[in-house]
């Protein structure tokens, strides 16, 4: 069975219950949440999550390990000045995930800002090692980036280098179709994409795919998501990725824009599932 879902709100008062029920309404069997605002490290106490009610009603419909968590954007593990805060926050975030039973935490690898790329990659590697020593069970997935600004992690080879240096089986990859397209990888050419993923040895490390169209031409380094079939990638290439045998065990998550201030994930899930 294809595991396909979307980014879903996780908020007061019903947290897991509202998130799961919205996902079920969308005909999804997985979902991705932020445990608080994406641009903030403010977090509600885990006692408010309504975990027991979720277990009683919905655990067999969307399993805990199929609840993906995305780290807030402001954590930069690659910044020597901010790494301590980021590490300690993510350790606590993983503890919150342990409470739910969630398996995958997606992180943006960070930006080197005023530091050298080499020093920031070294800092990222040290940060990830520290987090793994101080946590259990949860796998961290490095998200592929679009290459805008001073971002780390747009090139597959760079991600593989980081993973090799951390040398921990709990570190894997989240592939974002918009991001890799915007960086320059041809998502429309499925065979070429698979070949590139295998050549750079990250193919077997992909645990989650963010399925997004792009508002920009290939190689633009813009990182602007578009609704499925409305952008430069198009419906058929994304449908191919979602349904491909090569990715049959990979969880797929939509992060497409609102339309008239509302998500259209139900419609997009149907488009990709047919």
pLDDT digits (tens, 9 = 90+) for 25-57: 999 999 999 999 998 999 999 999 999 999 999
- Measured in degrees and rounded to the nearest 5, phi and psi for residue 143 equal -80, 135
Q: How far is CA 188 from the centre of its chain?
A: 21
| pLDDT score at 91 | 98
Place 1 in a pLDDT band, splitting at 50, 70 and 90.
confident
Listed as own residue / partner, the contacts of 269-273 with beta carbons closer than 8 Å and 24 or more positions apart are: 269/4, 269/5, 269/6, 269/26, 269/27, 269/28, 270/27, 271/228, 271/229, 271/235, 271/239, 272/4, 272/211, 272/228, 272/235, 272/238, 272/239, 272/242, 272/243, 273/2, 273/4, 273/27, 273/242
Query: Residue 121 in contact with residue 151, Cβ under 8 Å?
Result: no
Whole-prediction pTM: 0.97
Mean pLDDT of 97-126: 96
Whether the per-residue pLDDT at 274 is higher than 80: the answer is no
Burial degree of 47 (CB within 10 A; 0-12, 13-18, 19+): exposed
Question: What is the C-alpha R_g of the chain?
Answer: 18
| pLDDT score at 131 | 98
pLDDT digits (tens, 9 = 90+) for 250-270: 999 999 999 999 999 999 999
Q: How many domains does the chain have?
A: 1
Mean pLDDT of 108-131: 96
Query: Domain range for residue 221?
Result: 4-273
The secondary structure of the chain in percent helix, strand, coil, rounded to multiples of 5, reads 40, 15, 45
pLDDT digits (tens, 9 = 90+) for 192-217: 999 999 999 999 999 999 999 999 99
- Closest alpha carbon to 160 in 126, 190, 203: 203
- 189: domain CATH number? 3.20.20.150
Token digits of residue 239 = 């449908």
């Amino acid at each position: 069975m294809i595991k396909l879902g979307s980014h879903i709100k996780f908020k007061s008062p019903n947290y897991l219950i509202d998130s799961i029920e919205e996902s079920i309404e969308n005909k999804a069997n997985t979902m991705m949440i932020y445990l608080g605002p994406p641009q903030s490290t403010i977090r509600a106490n885990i006692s408010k999550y309504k975990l027991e009610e979720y277990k009683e009603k919905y655990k067999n419909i969307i399993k805990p390990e199929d609840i993906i968590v995305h780290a807030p954007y402001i954590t930069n593990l690659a910044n020597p000045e901010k790494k301590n805060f980021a590490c300690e926050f993510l350790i606590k975030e993983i503890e919150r995930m342990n409470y739910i039973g969630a398996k995958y935490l997606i992180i943006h690898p960070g930006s080197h800002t005023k530091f050298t790329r080499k020093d920031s990659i070294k800092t990222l590697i040290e940060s990830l090692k520290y987090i793994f020593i101080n946590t259990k069970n949860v796998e961290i997935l490095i998200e592929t980036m679009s290459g805008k600004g001073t971002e780390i992690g747009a090139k597959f080879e760079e991600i593989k280098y980081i993973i090799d240096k951390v040398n921990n089986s709990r570190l894997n990859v989240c592939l974002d179709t918009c991001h890799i397209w915007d960086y320059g990888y041809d998502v429309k050419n499925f065979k070429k994409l698979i070949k590139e993923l295998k050549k750079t040895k990250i193919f077997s490390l992909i645990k989650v795919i963010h399925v997004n169209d792009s508002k920009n031409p290939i190689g633009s380094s813009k990182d602007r998501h578009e609704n499925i079939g409305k952008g430069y990638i198009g419906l058929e290439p994304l449908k191919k990725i979602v349904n491909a045998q090569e990715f049959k065990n990979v969880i797929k998550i939509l992060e497409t824009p609102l339309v008239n201030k509302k998500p259209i994930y139900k419609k997009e899930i149907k488009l990709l599932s047919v």
